[in-house]
Amino acid sequence: MLVSRRATLSLRTVALLYLAVLLLAPLGMIFWRTFEHGLGAALGWVTTPAAISALWLSLLIAAIAVPLNTIFGVGCAMLLVRGKGRATAVLDAIIDLPFVVSPVIVGLALLLVYGQGGWFGNWFLSHGIRIIYAPAGMVIATVFVSLPFVVREVTPVLQEVGDEQEQAAATLGASGWQTFWRVTLPSIRWGVAYGVVLTTARALGEIGAVAVVSSNVAGSTLTLPLLVQQRDSQISSAQSLSGAYAAATELAVISLLVLLVMTVLAPRKDESG
């Protein structure tokens, strides 16, 4: 059934208006409020010790969570596609838990497991290891909420590619690692790259689960999203509100850069060679 040109234009107009109201207008307002007092004031807010520390902590958490989830995601995707049995189906369902469980619930679960009086919390504390209200707990929370993205990007690529090339490599005497590095990984590289970008975006912007397990101490356990929330909560101070807009703009710029990478990779993510 062909759609008329007028209907197509109408649908595009509605979609653009919808995006403008929900995304562009709020984002534009944030940028305007950030720079309404000048570029110098905005730079002052994003270069405070708390803001710099929050940025570096966010980047550090992402630098730990993304490689872990990439390794897990690729291995899990191969198991889901190449494996068989009921256990594989159960694993497939478990992978989607971060999509359906509220991040706040994730943070609460981590408190019950790794907090004082939790299943493993007392053991870690007795050995001088603090998980909750420390960067370690924030990393665990971020790993959990960003876990499915690489898996869900790599799995369909593996299904499309098939295992004929891998079988041919094995027939020619290649070991399992040689087959993976020289045959499997090159064929799924764009799926992996796109999954890494999505995981990075999720890790940098996570606030729900991280807020529960963070002590919100500047210079220690305050990430960039938490800094925005902290400054915004101080609504009695106009300066703090300006600082919240500045930190939000910094986070938005990072998100736009991630979106740019996603756009560049999108045409290639279905490539197999």
pLDDT digits (tens, 9 = 90+) for 90-147: 888 889 999 889 999 999 999 999 988 888 988 999 988 999 999 999 999 999 999 9
**Closest to 137 (Cα-Cα) out of 227, 212, 58, 60:** 212
Q: What pLDDT shows up at residue 236?
A: 58
Alpha carbons 106 and 95: distance in angstroms, whole number: 14
Rounded average pLDDT over 6-28: 85
Confidence of residue 237 (pLDDT cuts 50, 70, 90): low
- Whole-prediction pTM value? 0.85
Q: What pLDDT shows up at residue 266?
A: 65
- On the question of pLDDT at 85 being above 80, the answer is no
Confidence of residue 180 (pLDDT cuts 50, 70, 90): confident
Q: Which two tokens stand for residue 226?
A: 């938490």
Average pLDDT, the chain: 86
**Closest to 104 (Cα-Cα) out of 205, 208, 204, 213:** 208
Alpha carbons 16 and 18: distance in angstroms, whole number: 5
Alpha carbons 186 and 184: distance in angstroms, whole number: 6
Residue 50: what are its φ and ψ, rounded to 5°? Answer: -65, -40
- On the question of pLDDT at 269 being above 50, the answer is no
For the ranges 11-25, 81-95, 193-207, 236-250, which has the lowest average pLDDT? 236-250
**Closest to 247 (Cα-Cα) out of 54, 46, 47:** 46
Q: Which two tokens stand for residue 58?
A: 């966010």
Q: What pLDDT shows up at residue 3?
A: 58
Rounded average pLDDT over 166-171: 82
Confidence of residue 239 (pLDDT cuts 50, 70, 90): low
Alpha carbons 190 and 156: distance in angstroms, whole number: 12
Q: Which two tokens stand for residue 70?
A: 């990439």
Q: Which two tokens stand for residue 190?
A: 């764009």
**Closest to 140 (Cα-Cα) out of 118, 161, 164, 169:** 118
Q: What pLDDT shows up at residue 72?
A: 94
110-118: list long-range contacts, CB under 8 Å, 24+ apart. Answer: 110/137, 110/140, 110/141, 110/144, 110/209, 110/212, 110/213, 111/212, 111/213, 114/140
Q: What pLDDT shows up at residue 238?
A: 60
Structure-model confidence comparison of residues 133 and 235, the more confident one: 133
